[in-house]
Structure 1
């Protein structure tokens, strides 16, 4: 970033924030505090009304706004592809907003920049995986949960767990206080306090059924911030696999969420996973077939053997 770009960025930061210290700006732009002082002086001499408060920092004079700024082709591509992503992954309300936003962005671009942004976008594509029916259902549920969060209304739904309970049941009815939504590995996940479990739980929208917004309201817990929220790590079971080197890439792609460590051997690859229940890895292990061997725990070795025998009997 050159001096002119940095000074424009400083002005934008000050316009966005009420007060910023020189130290904050120096950390933001990875430069020295002395350089920030010089930039502030140059901006002031150029007519930007920056007010300095000793011991507090800098701010823009109230009522001052930068005139509209232009976009580079790369910046326009970032915005337009972001709108493409929103069209694919968010609900119908944001689908419409994303479409109108793209029209407005393209309308204000100078012709050379617009043509260059089109050329760049033609070299990249966002692919939306999954069946169309499922996508529509998730978008519908996404809209309902998003509105319930904004309106502070509780939700009720039937949830299908990936791993059955000890009694073999996979379905349960849940009433929850929704706190936020997160897109995790391509799946929309609701973070909510579950009345059944009396704790914060995560629910994939794709595993919900009969979703209903309740009349009952709730309050967010004091100090809860979705951006700062980190779930407790309850993956305490260690699973050790030995794999053929030919499928190292497959293991990295499909099991990355659970993978903790890998070690290269002369005749293969030793992989350590950490999971909540060993059954979480069972579909992956069966998919990898004879190219992997479960070393431990013994209970998972037996489970794989049982499934292999069932498959053998079926064929």
Structure 2
């Protein structure tokens, strides 16, 4: 079977999924989706009809499948159907771009097994649900990067990456990925780095190149949360005395930066952190409310903060 017929088979199968997932499908929309002429879509529809698929409609008005043609193997409640739509909206706003197309295809397959009335319910409600995300999505230079990473985890094969640090330095690492997670508008991976012989955290949008290898993992790993609690074991205890009036603004971030204890005193709130990011992340977070906080320990953090403030003052 040559490439032309393979492409046609894939397209005709996808058109059937479209017909199963929507009440009415227009030839113009199909032509745009599959990047072919409308005349080609007409021929594809005729192919489906010749194969015994009961298609209702004609060129110019749109197509649909005869109601009841395919009984869904699983019946969903209306509440479940509505939850699918809400989840789809969330994925559109918050999913990584390399997952978006795959999720859309999966949703089309799910819609295809819904009964006719539920398809109409979706059509009536999907434009009435929206998710407002005020953080711009990060852009990656590598297409399908998360699926590549997930495949490496499933196959337990090492990957090689070119990685750019926050200081714009680029290094090549061979890593064994433990897991992927999303936090504060960025996607991260936790992996064992063979260069450092330790666990490291990498931000996915800073990966410039990725290559799957055939080298198997050198060891077995547990769940990702086991490593997020202590990704490298080099934690530093930080104690701050924070003005009470600023505490409310830290609720969404203090846990992320390692809060382990919070105690109210006459002078303010004494906060104790256990952090892995004492060199970069923690000081840069602290500077956002530094005029309301006193560093109790460690002493060297005061020097780090002074150096950071001087660096900023030279730029401004």
Q: TM-score range by the shorter chain?
A: 0.5 to 0.7
Mark the CA change 1:251 to 1:124 in structure 2 (over 3 Å): closer, same or farther.
same
> Contact 1:138–1:205 (CA<8 Å) still a contact in 2?
no
Cα drift, residue 152 of structure 1? 4.3
| Cα separation, 2, equivalents of 1:178 and 1:96 | 23
Structure 1 residues 229 and 114, CA gap change in structure 2 (3 angstroms): farther
Larger RCO (alpha carbons 8 Å, 6+ apart) = 2
- 1:278-289 to 2 correspondences below 5 Å: 278-279=278-279, 280-289=281-290
Return the offset for 1:79.
2.4
1:135 maps to which residue? 139
Q: What's the CA shift string for 1:129-166, capped at 9, x where partnerless?
A: 334xx33436642233233334544321233345x7xx
Distance 1:116 1:84 in 2: 12
Q: For 2:291 and 2:225, how far apart are their aligned partners in 1?
A: 42
Q: CA–CA distance in 2 between the matches of 1:309 and 1:303?
A: 10
> Are residues 260 and 289 of structure 1, via their aligned partners in 2, closer, same or farther at CA, if it must alter by over 3 Å?
same
Residues 1:261 and 2:261 are matched in the alignment:
yes
2:163 matched to which residue of 1? 159
Q: Name the counterpart of 1:11.
A: none
Is 2:251 the counterpart of 1:252? yes
Query: How many residues are paired up?
Result: 239
**Which residue number corresponds to residue 173 of structure 2?**
174
* Cα distance in 2, alignment partners of residues 141 and 96 from structure 1: 13
Cα distance per residue 1:227-255 (max 9 Å; x no partner) = 67445622532111122223212222233
Question: What corresponds to 1:207 in structure 2?
Answer: 206
Residue 243 of structure 1 aligns with which residue? 242
- Report the counterpart of residue 89 of structure 1 in structure 2: 95
Is contact 2:85-2:122 (8 Å) kept? no
For structure 1, the residue ranges without an aligned partner over 5 or more in a row are 1-65
* Alpha-carbon contact 1:72-1:113 (below 8 Å) kept: no
- Counterparts of 2:224 and 2:311 in 1: how far apart (Å)? 45
Calculate the TM-score normalised by the size of structure 2. Answer: 0.61
Match of 2:150 in 1: 146
The equivalent residue for 1:98 is 103
Deviant stretches of 4+, over 6 Å? none
Unaligned runs of 5+ in 2: 1-71
Partner of 1:296: 297
1:178-201 per-position Cα deviation (integer Å, ceiling 9, x unaligned): 344333444322233321122443
TM-superposed CA distance for 1:272, in Å, is 1.4
Q: Deviation per CA, 1:65-87: give whole Å up to 9, x if none.
A: x96322232x2232233334445
**3-state SS of the aligned residue for 1:278?**
coil
Q: 1:274 to 1:227 in 2, by over 3 A?
A: closer
